Amino acid sequence: MKRILLALLLMTLPLAAQEEKKGEAPAPHTVQKLFVLKYADAQSVRQLLQVFHANFNANGDMRVIAVEATPEVMAGIEDAIKRLDVPAAAPANIDLTVYLVVGHEGESPVGGAAIPKDLDSVVTQLKAGFPFKSYSLLDVLAFRTRTGEQASTTSSGGVVANGNTNAPVMTSFRLNNASVGSDGASIHISKLNAGIKMPVFNNNGFSYTDLGINTDIDIKEGQKVVIGRLGISKDQALFLVMTVKILQ
């Protein structure tokens, strides 16, 4: 009797296994494809493609990525690689010009040059927002940088006069890097640092006071933007005005 029951049990095992397999979902159909990159780094692209449910194997030396995925996922991966494997944008030269403009409480400022005509619109805005009656140009700094690179410049061309005494203004500008936006006309300047040693006259002649600004800036080509206001004294303030130009 026991032998008959054991035989029946053994006969039912294959049938149970077949029933269990019938209940399982079939394995998804996958395809394999090898992508040869022209420009992009294979390892970097592989990291970005991890958002897809697929198997990847990349070789940076050969610039190839092997992919195994379902046909639907493979189509999305192929489209993503086409978008990522493009030539890098060539570095652009950027000219920056910074104007040091002084606002005065009095009608006739002492020292400094007349405001150039192309800054008339800026002065109009300053007069609408600040109580100073007149403005003069203290110095102009012009320098060139390339996207993704650091740049700096210095100047001692600004002069403050008091009677027969002239005192130089020492200015330094430094930026970490500049980048051009996707529109080709906007520039992002990262970590701009401006340092100005401004002479202040007193009974003993003059001494220097340190003025400075640290900021990030977004500016469009051709715009003249006030990037900072620095107090000199109770009746004077220094305004930093910047404009940029992209050189193709």
210 located within any domain: yes
Same domain, 65 and 98: no
**Which pLDDT tens digit goes with each residue over 66-87?**
999 999 999 999 999 999 998 8
pLDDT in tens, 147-161: 888 999 999 988 888
Q: Which domain holds residue 111?
A: 93-247
117 and 237 both lie in a single domain: yes
62 and 182 in a single domain? The answer is no
Residue pair 81/105 in contact (Cβ under 8 Å)? The answer is no
Structure tokens at 95: 């000219």
34 Cβ contact list (under 8 Å, min separation 6)? 64, 65, 66, 67
What's the domain count of the chain?
Answer: 2
Q: pTM for this one?
A: 0.66
- Residue 102 and residue 75 share a domain: no
pLDDT per residue as tens digits for the range 230-240? 998 888 899 99
